[in-house]
Amino acid sequence: MDRFATPLGELAIVADDAGRLRAVEWTDQDDRLQRSLRVQYGADGFALTRTRNPAGLSGAIRAYFAGELHAIDALPVATGGTPFQKSVWRALRQIPCGETITYGALAKQIGRATAIRAVGHANGDNPISIVVPCHRVIGSNGTLTGYGGGIERKRWLLAHERGASA
């Protein structure tokens, strides 16, 4: 586990021994991080040890915040979750940086056009924010909806990816 400052507040990352991201969460949402890890791995299924820049993951995420937006594109990730959740999370990584998609379009993309609410729930349960870009999903009317880190962070991330100064 590592924690580091970003323009939006302190971020925590959790990696496994193979150097894969298991979780990315804002430290002011630490309860959400702990809950996500318990859901994915069970109460005794993980142990956190503080490590600076595990497998270069923190450095890549810092580079993203410094303007190297594609520094996070190929970072290795691994999660628990249901097959459905994993299909949503894989699809999130296919949304190009700086673009958005609606929940309905995402549901169609994974072949589950009527599962819009389930896609929304899976998006909300995403344990690897930013790298698995759940912030790129918006409401059908183009509004910014739900983001575990808060709408203002979502707005900033989208502006950052579009090259606007936030």
Note if 134 is an active site residue: yes
Q: Are 110 and 119 in contact (CB under 8 A)?
A: yes
Q: What is the number of H-type helices and E-type strands within the chain?
A: 6, 5
CA distance 95 to 158: 12
For residue 71, how many other CB atoms are within 10 A of its CB?
Answer: 18
Q: Exactly one of 8, 61, 134, 138 is catalytic; name it.
A: 134
Task: Please give the single-letter amino acid code of residue 138.
Answer: I
Bridge pairing between strands 2-6 and 137-138: unpaired
Exposure letters 103-127 (e unless 16+ CB within 10 A, then b): bbbbbbbbeeeebbebbbebbebbb
Between helices 83-92 and 116-124, what is the axis angle to 10°? Answer: 80
Active site (catalytic) residues: 134
